[in-house]
Structure 1
Amino acid sequence: MTATHTRPEAKASAGSAVRDVLVLMLLPVPLVVAALPAAFAGGGTRRWFGGRGENQRADAQAAKDAAAAAFYELDTAQRDLQISIETITAVDSSPRARKAVEDFAALGRRIDDVSHIYITAVDAHDLDRDDLEPSAAAGARTQLTRAKDELVRVKGELDRYAHGLGTLLSSAETQLARLAPAVERARQALLAASDALDAVRASGLRADDLAARLAALAPELTKLNQGAGRHGVAETLQRADQVLRDAEAVRAEADRLPERAAEIDRRLVSLRTRAQALTTRAGQVEPVLSELRRRFSAACWQDLQPVPEQAADNVGQAEEKLTEAAAARSEQRWADATSRLSTVRALLNATDEAVSAAGDRLQRLDAVAKNPQAEIDRTRFAIRDAQRLAMAGRHTPDPRHARPLDDAVARLERAITGLDGRHPDYWHFLTETEAVRQTANRVVSAIREELGGGA
C-alpha cells in the first residue's frame, strides 16, 4: 500500500482481504497453504513477487541505465565529431577530406542502426509495471545489455575514426584561425592604400593608374565581406592574401610617388645636360680620326669611321626621347616617362663608349708605337706567372695547363714578328697581347680553383 491511497480505497482493500480469508478457509489445506502468500501480500492490484523477482527488476533497471549512459556517450561523441567534420569540409576539399566525410556518413548509418536497437529495447519493456514478470525482467535485461554492448562497440569505432582525423582537423582549425585575422589585415591594407592615395592627390599628383588599381579591388572586398560561408574558407584566405598584397603594393607606390616625380625631374635635367656634353665631345672625334689616319695603318682605325655619324644620330634620338619624357612627366604618365628616360640613358651610354673609344685608341697606339717592349714585357710576365703556378709542386705541368700556355707563347711571338715592317698594325698587336694575357689569367684561375677544391 502506498501513502497516496485514499481512505475509501483502503476500506475497499480491507474488505477484499477479509473476503479472501473466508474463501481460503473453505479450500483444502494444500491449496490454502499455496495461496496464503497471495492473500497476505498487502492488498491492492500490484503482484509483489519479492526476493528473486525484485532482483530481476533491479538488474533490468541497471541494464537500462547502462544502455542509456552508452547511448548518451555515443550521441555526444557523434555531435562533437559532426562539428569537426563541418570544420574540415569548410576548409579542405582534398580526396583525403572527402574520404573522411564518406567514412563519417557510413559511421552515422551504423549509429542509427544501434540507436534503433536501443530505442526499441527501451520501448518494449516497462520496468515500472506493478505486474512485471521475472521472466520479462530477465528478457528486458538481456535485450538492454545487448543494445548497450552494440552502442559501446560503435562508440569504439567512432573513437578510432576521430583519432585518425587528427592531421586533417588540425590543419582545418589552423586555417580557420587564420581566417578572421587575414580578412582584417586585407581590410586594413585597403584602408591604408586609400589614405595614401588621398595624401598623394592632396599634393597635386593625380595618380590615376593607382586609383584604377585600387578601384579594381572593390569587388574583392565585397566578396571578403560576404564571408567564408558563401565562398569557402580556402578561397577566402587566398582572396584575403591577394587583396593584402595588391593593396600594399598600391600604398607603397603611392608613398613613393612624390619621390618618383622628383627623381624623374632630376633625371630629365641630368640627361639633358649629358646629351649636350656628348654633342660637344662627338664633335672632337673627327680630329682624332684624322690623327689616326695620318699616323697609323688603316687596320688601326677603320672600325672607328662610323663613330661621328653614329654619335650625332644617337644624340639626336636621345633629345627626341627627352622631349617625350618631359611631356609624359607633365601629364603624370609616370611609367611612360620612366621608359623614355631609360631609352635616353641607353643611347647616351652607347654614344659615350663610341666617342671614348676613339680617344682611347689614339692614346694606346701612341704608347705602343713609342715603346712596344713595355707591352711585350707585360704580356711575358703574365705568361711566366702562370707557368710558375702550373709547375708548383710538380715535375711536369698538367697538359690542361701547359698546352694553352705554350699556345700563348707562340701567339705572342707571332704578334711581335708582326711589328716588323714600315707600317706595323699596332692595333692587331695590342689585341693579340690582350688575348694572350687573358689566356694566362684563365689558366691561373683554373689552377687556383683546383687547389681550393682539393683543400
Structure 2
Amino acid sequence: MRDLCVLVLAPLPLLAAALPLAVTGGGTRRWFGGRGESQRAEAQAAKDAAAEAFYELDTAQRDLKISIETITAVDSSPAARKAVEDFAALGRRIDEASHAYITAVDAHDLDRDDLEPSVASRARAELTSAKEQLIRVKGELDRFGAGLGPLLGSAETQLARLAPAVERARQALLGASNALDSVRASGLRADDLAARLAALAPELTKLNQGAGRHGVTETLQRADRVLRDAEAVRAEAEKLPERAAEIDRRLVTLRTRAQALTTRSASVEPVLSELRRRFSAACWQDLQPVPEQAAVNVRRAEEKLKEAAQARDEQRWADATSRLSTVRALLNATDEAVSAAGDRLRRLDGVAKDPQQEIERTRFAIRDAQRLAMAGRQTPEPRHARPLDDAVARLDQAITALEHRHPDYWHFLTVTEGLRRTVADVVADIREERGAGSH
C-alpha cells in the first residue's frame, strides 16, 4: 500500500497555490456564480470528507499493524496465524479503496479557473463514492481489531513479563558470581561450579541481544532457564563450605568405625567355634564366610577412605561423597554380618535351654488370630482359616523335630518367625476387611 501519510498531504500544494489568487485577486481566475460556484464548493467538501476518511483509515491501519506485530512477536498459534492472514486480506481491500480515492483526487483539479459545473458535479460523486468505500473498509478494520482483544491481551501480558524476567536472570547470574567469589576467597576452588557458571555466558549474551533478535517466547524461556541454573550454582556455592566440613567429619567418623569393626571382627571366630561345638551344622554353616568377608570389607573400606581423602584434598566433592557412601555401605554390611554371628549364638542358647517360650509365643499369636477370625461368625472365612490351620500343623511339626538327637534349633526359630509373620498378615487382612465394611 502506498504511504498513506504522503497521499493525504498530496492535494495540499494545489490548495496552497490557489490561496494567494483567492486572497489578493491577482489572477485571471474566472469564478462561476450561483449554481456553478455551489457545485465547486460541494465537490471541494466531498474531497475534504474523503481526505478525512482516508486519514482515519490510514491511522487505524497503522495502529492495528502495531497490534499484529505485537501478537506475531509472541504467538505462533493457529489463531495468531489466521489473524495475520485476515489482516493481510484487509490490507488488500484497503489498497483497493485507497486506490479509488487517489484516482478520484487525481482525476479532478477543483481549483481550475475553467472548471465546468458538470465536471465539479462528477468529481463530487466520485469523491463521495470513494469516501463511502473508505468508511466501509474502516468499519471492517474496526471489527477485526475488536476481535483481536484476547490475542492482543495475551501477547501484551507476555511482553510485560519480558523485561522483569531478563532482569531477574541477570541478577541471578550476578548473585551466583558473587557467591563463587566468596567461596574461592575461603580457599575452595569450586572448579565445577565455575565451569557451570561460565557455560551460562553465551545465554547472557543472547539475553542482552534482546527479543527483537531471538523472539519473545524464546527469550522468556531462556531467561527462566538462566535464572534456574544460576540460582542452582549460587545455592551450591553457598553450601560448599558446609559440604567440605561435613566430608571432613565423615572421614573421621568412618575411619574410627572401620578400626572398631576390625576389632569386633576378631570376635567372630570364637563365636563360630562355640556354635560348631554345641549345635548342628545347619545352625552355623551360613556364618562360615563371615570372618573372611569381614576382613575383605574392612580392607576395601580403608582403601575407599584413602580415595575419599584424596578426592577431598583435590576438592573433587562429588567423588569424595561417592567414595564415602561406598565405605558406609561396606561397613554396614560388615557390622550386620559380625552382629549376626553373636546374635545367632544368643538366640540358639535361649531356645536350646527353653524352647517352650518360643512355642508359647507362636501359639498365642495363632490363637489370637483364630479368635479374631471367629468373632461374630459361626464359621471363619476359608481364606483366613486355611493359613491359620496350616500354621498350627507346621508348628506341631517344628516341635516334633526338636525331639531328634541333633535338633536344628535354627530351623525351628526360622519356622516360628515365619509362622508369626503369616499370622500377622491374616490379622491385618481381617481388620482391613472389617474396617472397610463398617464405612
- Please say if residues 282 and 408 of structure 2, whose CA atoms lie closer than 8 Å, have aligned partners that are also in contact: yes
Identity of aligned residues (%): 82
Which one of the candidate residues 82, 95, 99 is aligned to 1:112? Answer: 95
What are the residue-to-residue correspondences of 1:157-196 with 2, within 5 Å? Answer: 157-196=140-179
Match of 2:30 among 45, 50, 56: 45
Q: Find the partner of 1:372 among 355, 360, 367.
A: 355
Matched residue type, 2:313: S
Q: Is residue 265–residue 338 contact of structure 2 (8 Å, CA) maintained in 1?
A: yes
Count residues with an aligned counterpart.
Answer: 418
Secondary structure of 1:366's aligned partner: helix
| Matching of residue 383 in structure 1 with residue 383 in structure 2 | no
Distance 1:352 1:3 in 2: 116
In 1, the alpha carbon distance for the partners of 2:188 and 2:235 equals 15
In structure 2, how many angstroms separate the alpha carbons of the residues matched to 1:258 and 1:87? 48
Structure 1 pair 386–110 and aligned structure 2 pair: CA distance change class (3 A): farther
Q: Which amino acid is the alignment partner of residue 437 of structure 1?
A: R
- Partner in structure 1 of residue 293 of structure 2: 310
Name the CA distance, whole Å, in 2 between partners of 1:312 and 1:376: 38
SS at match of 1:45: coil
- Gapped regions of structure 2 (runs ≥ 5): 1-20
Instruction: Determine helix, strand or coil for the equivalent of 2:378.
Output: coil
Give per-residue Cα distances to partners, 1:50-97, cap 9 Å, x unaligned. 4xx666556545544443343233222211111112112222333443
Q: 2:76 matched to 1:93?
A: yes
Say if 1:185 and 1:244, in contact at 8 Å, map to a contact too.
yes
Give 3-state SS (helix, strand or coil) of 2:64's partner: helix
Distance 1:133 1:304, change over 3 A: same
Measured against aligned partners, the alpha-carbon deviations of 1:330-380 in whole angstroms (never above 9, x if no partner) come to 111111111111110010010011111111111121222222222222222
Q: In structure 1, what residue type is equivalent to 2:85?
A: E
| Bigger mean CA deviation after superposition, 427-436 or 269-278 | 427-436
Deviates more, 1:83-92 or 1:273-282: 83-92
| CA distance in 2 between partners of 1:248 and 1:364 (Å) | 55
Mapped to 2, the partners of 1:109 and 1:194 lie a distance apart of 54
TM score, norm. by length of structure 2: 0.87
| 1:286-314 deviations in Å (ceiling 9; x for gaps) | 11111111221111111111001100000
Q: Which has the larger radius of gyration?
A: 1
Q: 1:119-134 alignment to 2 at 5 Å?
A: 119-127=102-110, 132-134=115-117
Q: Which residue pairs with 2:10 in the alignment?
A: none
Structure 1: 5+ residue stretches without partners: 14-43
Tell me, what secondary structure is at the counterpart of 2:380?
A: coil
Computed over aligned residues only, the root mean square deviation of the Cα atoms, in angstroms, reads 2.5
Cα distance in 2 between the residues matched to 1:324 and 1:309: 23
The normalised TM-score by structure 1 is: 0.85
Residue range with higher mean Cα deviation, 104-113 or 303-312: 104-113
Name the stretch that deviates more: 194-203 or 62-71: 62-71
